[in-house]
Copies of this chain bind each other. A is one copy, B any other.
Amino acid sequence: MINRLTARIKERKAPVVVGLDPMLSYIPDPVKKAAFAEHGETLSGAAAAVWEYNRTIIDAVCDLVPAVKPQIAMYEQFGIPGLTVYKQTIDYCREKGLIVIGDIKRGDIGSTSAAYAAAHLGRVQVGGNTFAPFAEDFATINPYLGSDGVKPFIDVCRAEKKGIFVLVKTSNPSSGEFQDRRIDGRPLYEWVGEKVAAWGEEAMGEEYSYVGAVVGATYPEMGAILRQLMPRTLILVPGYGAQGGTAADLKPYFKDDGSGAIVNSSRGIIAAWKQEKYAQFGAEKYGAAARQAAKDMIADIRTALSLD
């Protein structure tokens, strides 16, 4: 899957992921109204609105980008109906040829991590049958518990040719509270990055490993160091746009050949219709606004990387 992802990034000339992180406030009123008319102002109603909204966004961007990243928290907040739409969204994206990165940030130990890995990337056995419960292609993972927490995911990645992105340095303002603390002269995120590179050796694709890293766009100087420290690690970069990262900030995350990273934007694309810049589309054409925003982001990044 890592080989397919890197190939698809090249093919589409777009190191870009669309974050499918729907908030009800992003969804135009007519979409919500229709969903509530059918299901009431209930969790099912909210989930139905999210589903309709996602489908439109996915249809609008599926030929432009290689991958999407649904944030499971945004579905989990609507309980079982929300998680049902999370699964529907994954299935629909895969049908449309998109690679799906489940932004689940799970992490536990031993058999518990193995259960998460089976749920999201692998299979679970029930009697004589096996099932792939959520069936994302990649998942994001929290490393705080150490190798015991990550290894069960790597085992599944090897068996299923799937991948993970391990949190190394996150994009939020307080990420430094623990991640930047210096240990033997180097910040914790470098030690985690080194570990990610080592874990990655156990699950290599052609050019890059099945074990990737998450490094926020908001810390480009740290991105440069981590790029060097993890030469065969694909870096997933959140924080572009709404969180303050600019295209110029992104250069250090990439190699000179323009490979090595994939940049996420969520709100900036899926809620583009709410921005001044895309106001001409209006609420009804939120899909077209998302498509234009995705095109603009791809062009912005390609210019910054001097790829055009």
Tell me whether A178 and B149 are in contact (CB under 8 A).
no
The size bracket of the interface on A is 35 or more
A82 to B83, CA, bound (A): 11
User: A165 → chain B, closest Cβ, in Å?
Assistant: 14
Q: A124-B77, A133-B79 are in contact. Are A175 and B188 (CB under 8 A)?
A: no
Taking CB atoms, residues of chain B closer than 8 Å to A32 are 127
Interface stretch of the complex, out of A35-43, A221-229, A246-254 = A35-43
A303 within 8 A of B: no
Within 8 A of B (CB), among A112-166: 112-113, 115-116, 118-120, 124-129, 131, 133-134, 142-149
Tell me whether A79 and B172 are in contact (CB under 8 A).
no
Q: A105-B107, A144-B144 known; 12 other A-B pairs, CB under 8 Å? A: A36-B126, A41-B129, A46-B124, A46-B126, A71-B108, A73-B113, A105-B108, A105-B142, A109-B172, A109-B175, A142-B142, A183-B183
Q: Which residues of A contact B (CB under 8 A)?
A: 21, 23-24, 32, 36, 41-43, 45-46, 71, 73-74, 76-80, 82-84, 87, 105-113, 115-116, 118-120, 124-129, 131, 133-134, 142-149, 167, 170-179, 181-184, 188, 191-192, 195
Write 16 A-B pairs (CB below 8 A) sorted by A numbering. Answer: A41-B128, A41-B129, A45-B126, A73-B106, A73-B119, A74-B115, A79-B131, A109-B170, A110-B172, A145-B172, A145-B174, A146-B174, A148-B173, A177-B195, A178-B188, A188-B188
